[in-house]
């Protein structure tokens, strides 16, 4: 009996030893370290995140979220990447991950990991990217993080990190992104650590509990791009002039602090808008609407008050100076009077010298027409019509639509008659909620694009005319030029330049039944630069500083040289004025009924996140986001509504999210971009630079996105 028990015990021990040996032999050391992560996660929250993490596997390289590569001197591939994000995993980060000596990227963002970041993690000396944002991590920023010799990206934002920013960060000389936003970090921003960060391109310390002044040496980070974000803290003191030495492409976000004094007017400060400085009650000066008191004058005034009181009342203006001022005023009034008299007699001469009741073309053989400077309301080319007063009686507007309405030229040099427009053959170019668009070839062979807006809005002519006149004042080589408009009770038309080479959507995706022409990188870059210039002009230089509100490839028209022309800005406002469905009703110029199936876009995929909220008002940052999505489409060749991994119509949540994930996980560039772009010499570096511009444009927070002017400057530098 004793012998049997002994044999049984030996067999049991042998079984456990054999199982241990089997486990040790079947799974690599990297796999055993990874199993510690699986064990550290609450299994109720694990879901399917670790469903294929099997301890009996010989290697972890095919496990979900794990990437490996072959390393010289090792028979098995080594783990270089962990990417398990957005899985709502609840647990802690195990220190055993520090044994993965070839681990380069740790991406556990958007989960529910708690506890502190273990210092043992930094034994994985190959780490260069740590993305732990969007968790419940606590404790301080680990001072020993800079023992990692290759650390480039550190994102601990949106956690509960406490303590101060460690001065040891000055050893992170290769750091490119430091993002500590939305935590509970307190104390001062340390000085003397920033000048050595020669590769830092993003610094975000917003939404913390930081106090004290901005260190002078932050202005020495010459590599910064995008936004320097220090908003929503308790920072105080004067703004250091050294910030003006940052690159001009850097946007500041210093909102909601306690800064005081005058905003410097040097360097990069001059490129900032008022939003950058809002909610700092003691700040003053441009671009804020709060002037600074001249303390030197007030102090000198108070010091001199005693002497002035002893020397009698202060002297006023001398009699000679008063006489000169009076004479200048009289001369100015007389000059204005002469101008008014001249205009009066000029108008009277015109009204007595010509009749504008006929339908004549400017410059025909009628002597009276040649002598008159005025033209009929039915003719194009009327110089006076460019300044038409929308305050004219609305009761005189309208008519039958057969020449009874008003055809108003916005461009002086564009001349033809209404009858010529209505008789011309028209071809449908497209149809959307913004109206039917026709190509109309005039008698002189010039093609124009005519958009039919609908039949309503007969009581809102003044509003319509004012809006069209504002749109017509926009003149830029990358914006479609509005030439004229027609108003009648039963018809509203816009006449603009015809752009001959289709739109960017067709160029990228082709038409049904037609082969797709591949766009070279130089062509795509030309389109991106021109579009950015046009949008920057709309935002910064146009009379009303327009917001387009609907940037997408079908609204970027291309000419024969593939130069882009932005179309359709301001149309939503005009449609709301007319108040009708523009696709209803007849067709002008004998156009054939609309039969062609026009390729449509899901414009919602190009809209900024905040633009998808019902009732939200358009902002310029909407356009910045939309441009970023268009730029990503130019780079990847993939439409936002199509899966980037297949050519079928399987929808993905967001092209932007896919590209961001690719950069975080260091997906090979060849897997993300259109292969055509990598065939050109020098294209690779330019494509990466363009990707960075697009990612800055598509930040979820609109305040972090750069202005379109900055975007244009950055994209101009590419290539």
Confidence of residue 420 (pLDDT cuts 50, 70, 90): low
- Higher pLDDT: 164 or 365? It is 164
Q: What is the model's pLDDT at position 675?
A: 80
Of 242-256, 300-314, 444-458, give the lowest mean pLDDT range: 300-314
Q: What is the model's pLDDT at position 258?
A: 95
Q: Specify whether the CB–CB gap between 214 and 243 falls below 8 A.
A: yes
Kindly report the CATH class assigned to 33-284. alpha beta
Q: Is the peptide bond prior to 287 cis by the omega test (within 30 degrees of 0)?
A: yes
User: What crossing angle do the helices spanning 683-697 and 521-540 adopt, rounded to 10°?
Assistant: 30
Confidence of residue 250 (pLDDT cuts 50, 70, 90): confident
Bridge partners, 262 (sequence order): 284
Q: Specify whether the CB–CB gap between 605 and 439 falls below 8 A.
A: no
Res. 622: pLDDT tops 80 = yes
Determine the Cα–Cα distance for residues 353 and 278; give it in Å rounded to an integer: 59
Question: What's the mean pLDDT in 186-196?
Answer: 92
Residue closest to 510 by CA, chosen among 599, 430, 571: 599
Highest average pLDDT, of 38-52, 206-220, 483-497, comes from 206-220
Highest average pLDDT, of 53-57, 256-260, 312-316, comes from 256-260
Determine the Cα–Cα distance for residues 203 and 229; give it in Å rounded to an integer: 7
The 10s digit of each residue's pLDDT in 31-49 is 999 999 999 999 888 888 8
Q: What is the model's pLDDT at position 664?
A: 83
Q: What is the model's pLDDT at position 573?
A: 75
The 10s digit of each residue's pLDDT in 444-486 is 677 888 888 766 555 677 778 888 888 888 889 999 988 888 8
Q: What is the mean pLDDT of the chain?
A: 76
- Higher pLDDT: 273 or 223? It is 223
Determine the Cα–Cα distance for residues 579 and 574; give it in Å rounded to an integer: 8
The 10s digit of each residue's pLDDT in 128-180 is 999 999 999 999 999 899 999 999 999 999 999 999 999 999 899 889 899 99
- Higher pLDDT: 344 or 445? It is 445
Q: What is the model's pLDDT at position 327?
A: 59
Alpha helical stretches, state H, 502-545: 504-509, 521-540
Domain ranges of the chain: 33-284, 418-579+604-642+651-717
- Distance between alpha carbon 352 and the CA centroid of its chain, in Å? 55
- Higher pLDDT: 97 or 276? It is 97
Question: What's the mean pLDDT in 92-110?
Answer: 93
Q: Give the contacts of 109 (CB within 8 A, at least 6 positions apart).
A: 85, 86, 131, 132, 133, 134, 135, 155
Res. 200: pLDDT tops 50 = yes
Percent residues over pLDDT 90 in the chain:
32
Alpha helical stretches, state H, 319-460: 319-353, 367-371, 418-423
Q: What is the model's pLDDT at position 417?
A: 65
Q: What is the model's pLDDT at position 326?
A: 60
Determine the Cα–Cα distance for residues 540 and 380; give it in Å rounded to an integer: 30
Q: Specify whether the CB–CB gap between 152 and 178 falls below 8 A.
A: no
Question: What's the mean pLDDT in 483-509?
Answer: 83
Question: What's the mean pLDDT in 62-68?
Answer: 90
Q: What is the model's pLDDT at position 295?
A: 46
Res. 210: pLDDT tops 90 = yes
Res. 581: pLDDT tops 90 = no
Identify each DSSP E strand in 547-664 by its residue range.
556-558, 564-566
- Higher pLDDT: 147 or 351? It is 147
Q: What is the model's pLDDT at position 314?
A: 42
User: For 649-654, which contacts have Cβ atoms below 8 Å and span 24 or more sequence positions?
Assistant: 654/605
Confidence of residue 387 (pLDDT cuts 50, 70, 90): very low
Percent residues over pLDDT 70 in the chain:
70
Confidence of residue 599 (pLDDT cuts 50, 70, 90): very low
Res. 685: pLDDT tops 60 = yes
Q: Specify whether the CB–CB gap between 424 and 442 falls below 8 A.
A: yes
Question: What's the mean pLDDT in 55-81?
Answer: 88
Q: Give the contacts of 493 (CB within 8 A, at least 6 positions apart).
A: 450, 451, 452, 453, 485, 486, 588
First to last CA, the chain: 87
CATH of span 418-579+604-642+651-717 = 1.10.510.10
Determine the Cα–Cα distance for residues 80 and 84; give it in Å rounded to an integer: 13
Res. 538: pLDDT tops 80 = yes
Three-state DSSP class for 346?
Answer: helix
Determine the Cα–Cα distance for residues 314 and 302; give it in Å rounded to an integer: 14
Q: What is the model's pLDDT at position 449?
A: 86
Q: What is the model's pLDDT at position 364?
A: 35
pTM value is 0.55
Q: What is the model's pLDDT at position 225?
A: 80
């Amino acid at each position: 009996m004793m012998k049997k028990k002994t044999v049984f015990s030996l067999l049991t021990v042998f079984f456990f030893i054999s199982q241990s040996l089997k486990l040790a032999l079947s799974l690599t050391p990297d796999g055993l370290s990874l199993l510690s992560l699986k064990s550290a996660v609450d299994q109720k929250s694990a879901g399917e995140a670790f469903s294929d993490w099997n301890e009996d596997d010989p290697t972890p390289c095919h496990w979900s979220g794990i990437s490996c590569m072959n390393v010289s001197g090792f028979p098995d591939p080594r783990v270089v990447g962990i990417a398990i994000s957005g899985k709502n995993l609840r647990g802690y980060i195990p220190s055993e991950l520090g044994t993965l000596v070839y681990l380069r990227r740790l991406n556990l963002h958007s989960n529910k990991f708690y506890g502190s970041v273990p210092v043992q993690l930094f034994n994985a000396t190959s780490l260069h990217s740590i993305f732990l944002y969007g968790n419940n991590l606590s404790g301080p920023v680990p001072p020993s993080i800079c023992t990692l010799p290759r650390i480039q990206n550190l994102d601990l934002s949106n956690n509960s990190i406490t303590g101060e920013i460690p001065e040891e960060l000055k050893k992170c000389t290769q750091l490119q992104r430091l993002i500590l936003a939305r935590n509970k970090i307190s104390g001062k921003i340390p000085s003397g650590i920033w000048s050595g960060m020669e590769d830092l391109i993003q610094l975000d310390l917003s939404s913390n509990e930081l106090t004290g002044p901005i260190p002078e040496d932050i202005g020495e980070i010459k590599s910064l791009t995008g936004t320097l974000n220090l908003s929503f803290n308790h920072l105080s003191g004067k703004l250091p002039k050294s910030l003006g030495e940052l690159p001009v492409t850097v946007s500041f976000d210093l909102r909601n602090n306690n800064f005081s004094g005058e905003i410097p007017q040097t360097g990069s400060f001059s490129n900032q808008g008022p939003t950058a400085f809002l909610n700092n009650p003691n700040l003053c000066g441009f671009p804020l609407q709060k002037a600074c008191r001249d303390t030197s004058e007030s102090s000198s005034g108070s010091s001199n008050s005693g002497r002035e009181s002893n020397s009698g009342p202060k002297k006023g203006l001398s009699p000679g100076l008063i006489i000169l001022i009076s004479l200048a005023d009289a001369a100015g009034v007389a000059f204005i009077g002469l101008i008014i008299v001249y205009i009066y007699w000029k108008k009277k001469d015109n009204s007595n010298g010509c009749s504008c009741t006929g339908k004549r073309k400017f410059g025909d053989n009628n002597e009276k027409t040649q002598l008159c400077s005025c033209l009929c309301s039915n003719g194009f080319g009327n110089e006076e019509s460019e300044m038409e007063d929308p305050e004219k009686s609305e009761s005189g507007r309208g008519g039958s639509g057969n020449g009874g309405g008003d055809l108003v030229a916005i461009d002086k040099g564009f001349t033809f008659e209404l009858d010529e427009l209505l008789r011309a053959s028209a071809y449908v170019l497209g149809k959307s909620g913004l109206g039917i668009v026709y190509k109309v070839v005039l008698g002189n062979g010039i093609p124009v694009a005519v958009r039919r807006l609908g039949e309503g809005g007969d009581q809102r002519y003044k509003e319509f005319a004012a809006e069209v006149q504002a749109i017509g004042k926009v003149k830029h080589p990358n914006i479609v030029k509005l030439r004229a408009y027609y108003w009648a009770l039963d018809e509203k038309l816009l006449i603009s330049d015809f752009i001959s080479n289709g739109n960017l959507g067709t160029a990228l995706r082709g038409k049904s039944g037609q082969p797709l022409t591949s766009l070279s990188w130089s062509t795509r870059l030309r389109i991106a630069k021109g579009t950015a210039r046009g949008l920057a002009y709309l935002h910064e230089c146009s009379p009303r500083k327009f917001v387009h509100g609907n940037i997408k490839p079908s609204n970027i028209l291309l000419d024969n040289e593939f130069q882009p022309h932005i179309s359709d800005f301001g149309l939503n406002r005009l449609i709301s004025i007319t108040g009708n469905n523009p696709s209803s009703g007849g067709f002008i110029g004998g156009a054939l009924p609309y039969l062609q199936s026009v390729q449509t876009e899901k414009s919602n995929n190009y809209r900024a996140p905040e633009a998808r909220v019902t009732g939200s008002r358009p902002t310029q940052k909407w356009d910045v986001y939309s441009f970023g999505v268009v730029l990503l489409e130019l780079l990847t060749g993939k439409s936002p509504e199509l899966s980037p991994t297949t050519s079928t119509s399987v929808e993905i949540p967001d092209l932007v999210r896919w590209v961001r994930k690719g950069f975080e996980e260091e997906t090979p560039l060849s897997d993300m971009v259109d292969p055509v772009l990598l065939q050109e010499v020098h294209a690779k570096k330019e494509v990466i630079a363009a990707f960075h511009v697009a990612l800055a444009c598509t930040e979820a927070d609109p305040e972090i996105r750069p202005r379109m002017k900055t975007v244009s400057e950055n994209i101009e530098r590419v290539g």
